[in-house]
Amino acid sequence: MSKNYFHAIATMVGTIIGVGIFVIPYVISKSGIILLFVYLPLLGIVQYFLHKLYAEIILSTEERHRLPGYVEKYFGGRGKKITLALVLIGSYGGLLAYIIVGGIFLQQLLSPYFGGNVFFYSTTLFILEAAVVLMGMKLIASVELIMSGLLLLMVALIAWRGWGYINLDNYSLINWSNVFLPYGPIFFAVGGEAAIPSVCRLLARQKKNIKSAICWGTFIPVAVMLFFTVLAVGITGNNTTPDTLAGLNLVIGNGAVIFALLFGLLAIITSFLTLAQAVKEVYWWDLGMNKKLAWCLSCVVPYFLYLIGFQNLIKIISLTGAVTGGILGVVVICLIFKVKKKKEHAPIISNNLSKPFAYFLSLLFILGLIYEIWMVAK
C-alpha cells in the first residue's frame, strides 16, 4: 500500500476521533452501558454507508465540489442555498466545539507550569491550527498521519494506567428515561463526511483503494470510541464529566491524565484541521472565493462565536450531530439517486440503495432531529 493510502485512513481517523469521543462517556453514564453497544455500532454502520454514498457522488462527477456544489449541480440553486446553510451550521458547530474543548485540555495540561486561563489557551491553539489550515491539504495530511498514530498510542497508555481503577458497580445497564440521549452525540462523533473529498483526492490514482480506506477510517474510530467509553465509565461512573477528562483526573490522578490530555489535544487538533479545510473548500470551490478569504471565513467565524459566548458543549454537539448531520444525511440520500441517473464517470464505488431503505434512513434522521430540538427546548 502507498503512503497516500495511509494518509487517507489517517485523515478519516483524525477527523472522526474528535471532541465527540469525550462526550460519549458522559451520555452513556446517564443512559446505560447497554446503549453504547446498540448506538455506536449501528450509527457507525450508518455513517459508513453515508461515507460511501458521498464517495460515489464525488467519483461520479467531473468537477471538484463540496456538498453544496454537488446539490447545485444536480438540484439547482435553491437546493444549494439550503444545503450551504446546513453545512456551515454543522461545520461551525463542530469547529466551535473543538475550540472550546481544545482550550480546556491545553489549559489543564499547561496551566500548572505557566498559568493562564482557558480563553488564553483556546486562542493560542486556534491560532496554531488556523496557520496549518492556511498552508493547505498536503501539510494537513502529513500532520494527520503522525497524530493519528499518536492518538492510538495515547489510548493504549490511558488503558494501561487506568485499568486497575475500573469498578463494575460504575456501569448502569440502561436508564429508560434517557434511552435516546446518546443518539445525537454518537451520530456526531462517528461522522467523517468532511474527510471524504480529501480521501478521494489522496487516492485519485488508486481509486480501487478508496472503499477500503473509508472502511478502515470509519471503523478504527468506532472501535477506539467503544474501548475508551467502557474504560472511562468504568473508572468514573456517575462522576463522569461532560469532557470526561476532568472526571478521570479526580480518580486516577495527574500521571494518567497527562496521557489523556495529550490524547484529547491530538484528537481535537486533527479534527479541527480537516473540518476547517472542508469549510475552506466550500467557500473556495462552491462559492468561488479566493483561497485567503475562504480560509479567513472558515476559521474566524467559529472563533467569533466562541468570543460571544456560545460555549454549551453538550447542546452544541447534540444539535450539530442530530439536526444538521441528520438533515445532511437526507440530502446525501436524495443526491445519490440523481447522481446515478446523470453520472459523468463510472465510479469505482457503486452502492445499492433501495428506496424503502432510503426512506427508513431518512425517517431515522428526521426523528432524531425532532428529538434533539425537543430536548433543547425543554
Q: What angle do CA 348, 349, 351 make, to 5 degrees?
A: 145
CA distance 213 to 217: 6
The pLDDT of 90-107, averaged and rounded, is 89
Q: Which of 241, 269, 295 is nearest to 22 (CA)?
A: 241
Residue 40 has pLDDT above 90, yes or no: yes
Q: Are 86 and 74 in contact (CB under 8 A)?
A: no
Grid cell, residue 212, equals: 477500503
Percent of the chain with pLDDT over 70: 94
Taking the chain, what is the end-to-end CA distance rounded to the nearest angstrom?
A: 51
- Sign, CA dihedral 310-20-3-219, equals negative
Residue 171 has pLDDT above 90, yes or no: yes
CA distance 229 to 312: 21
Range of weakest confidence among 149-153, 302-306, 360-364: 149-153
Tens of pLDDT along 310-325? 877 767 777 676 667 7
Query: How much is the pLDDT for 253?
Result: 67
Domains for the chain: give ranges and CATH numbers: 3-377 (1.20.1740.10)
Query: How much is the pLDDT for 174?
Result: 94
Instruction: Please spell the DSSP secondary structure of 162-203, one letter per residue.
Output: HGGG--GGG-----GGGTTTTHHHHHHHT--GGGHHHHHHHT
Give the residue, 232 or 374, on which the prediction is more confident.
232
Binning pLDDT at 50, 70 and 90, where does residue 141 land? low
Binning pLDDT at 50, 70 and 90, where does residue 36 land? very high
Grid cell, residue 32, equals: 446505560
Q: What is the mean pLDDT of the chain?
A: 87
Residue 136 has pLDDT above 80, yes or no: no
The pLDDT of 59-87, averaged and rounded, is 89
DSSP H helices in the chain:
3-16, 20-31, 33-59, 67-75, 77-114, 118-135, 137-162, 183-189, 196-202, 210-236, 245-281, 291-307, 313-318, 325-342, 355-377
Grid cell, residue 87, equals: 453545512
The pTM of the full predicted model, rounded to 2 decimals, is 0.87
